[in-house]
Amino acid sequence: MANKAPQIPGIAEFIHKIKSGEIFTEIAKEITESQLWTSTFRHGYADTPRNRVLQIASNVWLHLHPVKMHRHALRIKFTWCMGGITFLLFLSTVVTGVILMFYYRPVGEYAYYDMKYLQYDVPFGMLMRNMHRWAAHAMVITVWLHMFRVFLTGSYKPPREFNWVIGVFLVTFTLLLSFTGYLLPWDQLAMWAVTVGTNMARATPFLGNEGPFAEYVGVTPRYDARSLLIGGSLVGPPALLRFYVLHCIFIPLIAGALMIVHFWRIRKDGGISGPL
């Protein structure tokens, strides 16, 4: 029973390592102790309390979180996860929206045909458009639900009054984001929904040409609150350009800034509210 097979000690050892699972520990060690890894992450890899803290505190993407939190705030039954989902949907619209911007021109002659092009010729164009639109609609719903939950748990009470106020700005901007985007496909649905919506500005007291007391201010259909919004006396190409700039630059910047303040305040106000 002489073992005639050539003995290469390396292989036996190697197979043993695979069988015992030791190999994975070694690979992990090799990676996590490499210069590439240690220069990227500012904390060790081992699951120690210290590293759990650093994982949050030394990571720019996670550092808005506290490092520790109350057990009750983890319950989905309490928060419904709605604020977080709203934020996630916002991020989804940012990503898909930037992709749409590569193909879309906010010009009367082009806009509608760019939509067609996106839908039929651009790879994954239809999917990007769908995701952008449905995420935007879903965000409107989730932000309402988030607000409802915050009301039901009384989380606007001291010391969180101001964060509620920021929240009301956020829900307003969420609706405005959705509304300005509604015009961009430049189809019948878009044009007339926005006509109905912006017609209201015409009735602004003092500042709209059909509003109460307008005659004392002297506003006209060409120069009033509505024409400021849509760049003319009806929803035409200037309105398209205006809504595009508002939709892609102005409102997202403001809403994004307010979200940062919102998250920062959650922490400064003592984290998610709870019975204490």
Partner 1 sequence: MAQAAAAPKKKVEGVPEKLHVWPYLVRLEFLCALVVIIALTVWSIVIDAPLEEAANPTKTPNPSKAPWYFLGLQDILVYFDPWFAGVVAPVLIIVGLMLIPYLDVNPKGNGYYTYHERKVAIWVYCFGFLVLWIALIIMGVFLRGPGWNLFMPWQYWDPHKVVALVSVDLPYSFGFRDYTWSAIFGGGVLLAYFGIGTGVYFFMERKALKSVGFLRMFLKIQLALIMMGIVIKIVLRIGFNVKYIMVTPWISI
Q: Which of residues 69-108 bind ligand HEM (CB under 6 A)?
A: 79, 82-84, 86-87, 90
Q: Are 70 and 82 in contact (CB under 8 A)?
A: no
Q: In this chain, which of 164, 238, 258, 263 binds partner 1, going by CB under 8 A?
A: 164
User: Of 15, 27, 74, 245, which one interacts with partner 1 (CB under 8 A)?
Assistant: 74
**According to CB under 6 A, which residues from 110 to 149 bind ligand HEM?**
143, 146-147
Q: Which is nearer to partner 1, 20 or 172 (CB)?
A: 172
| Contact of residue 79 among partner 1, ligand HEM, none (CB under 5-8 Å per partner type) | ligand HEM
Cβ contact 224:233 at 8 Å:
no
Q: Rounded to whole angstroms, what are the CA distances from 252 to 71, 84, 91, 108, 173?
A: 33, 17, 10, 23, 8
Give the nearer residue to partner 1 in terms of CB position, either 18 or 200: 200
Q: Exposed, middle or buried by CB within 10 Å (0-12, 13-18, 19+), for 106?
A: buried
Residues in the chain: 276
> Nearest residue by C-beta to ligand HEM?
167
Return phi, psi of residue 100, to 5°: -60, -35
Q: Give, as ranges, the residues between 29 and 48 that touch ligand HEM (CB under 6 A).
A: none
122, 156, 231, 267: which one binds ligand HEM (CB under 6 A): 156
Instruction: Provide Rg for the chain, Cα atoms.
Output: 28
Q: Pull the structure tokens for residue 43.
A: 């904390």
Judged by CB under 8 A, does residue 129 bind partner 1? Answer: yes
Nearest distance from C-beta of residue 34 to partner 1, angstroms: 22
- What phi and psi, each to the nearest 5 degrees, are found at residue 223? -130, 85
Question: Binding of partner 1 at residue 196 (CB under 8 A)?
Answer: yes
Name every residue whose Cβ is closer than 8 Å to that of residue 45 and which is 6 or more positions away in sequence. 28, 32, 37, 51
- Name the binder of 143 from partner 1, ligand HEM, none, CB < 5-8 A by kind: ligand HEM
The site for ligand HEM (CB under 6 A) is made up of 79, 82-84, 86-87, 90, 143, 146-147, 150, 153, 155-156, 160, 163-164, 167-168, 170-171, 174, 259, 262, 266, 272-273
